[in-house]
Amino acid sequence: DAGVTQSPTHLIKTRGQQVTLRCSPKSGHDTVSWYQQALGQGPQFIFQYYEEEERQRGNFPDRFSGHQFPNYSSELNVNALLLGDSALYLCASSFLAGSSYNEQFFGPGTRLTVL
């Protein structure tokens, strides 16, 4: 059973460009969350998708947008890239069950460098 997969592994962009990162959730999972981890810091929640809709959003500008597809995979899009967007972007998936706690499983991340 494949875990959470992300692509690409590494990405280099220049300021002002746009980028799309991709995530495939663990088999059986229907909820995808995205986190940004800047160098030397803890991950910060960007947003969460369930049933193809953004369910909750962290404190990130509208330049950050996402999408969830019918097969539960997800994309993170960042427009007008800034140097400060350089970070490891982590995707986490979980299953929305009846209980309130659902363990999130993390992918290996996509390392984005903005020059």
Partner 1 sequence: AQSVTQLDSQVPVFEEAPVELRCNYSSSVSVYLFWYVQYPNQGLQLLLKYLSGSTLVKGINGFEAEFNKSQTSFHLRKPSVHISDTAEYFCAVSETGGYNKLIFGAGTRLAVHP
Where on the chain is the footprint of partner 1 (CB under 8 A)? 4, 33, 35, 40-45, 48, 55-56, 58, 90, 92, 94, 100-104, 106-109
Nearer to partner 1, 17 or 41 (CB): 41
Tokens of 102: 């659902």
d(CA 115, CA 98): 45
Q: Minimum distance between the CB of residue 15 and partner 1, rounded to whole angstroms?
A: 25
At 5, is the secondary structure helix, strand, or coil? strand
Report the C-alpha dihedral over residues 49, 54, 59, 64, rounded to 10 degrees.
Answer: 90
Nearer to partner 1, 38 or 115 (CB): 38
Nearer to partner 1, 79 or 88 (CB): 88
Q: Minimum distance between the CB of residue 83 and partner 1, rounded to whole angstroms?
A: 21
Around 56, how many Cα atoms within 13 Å sit in the side-chain half-sphere? 8
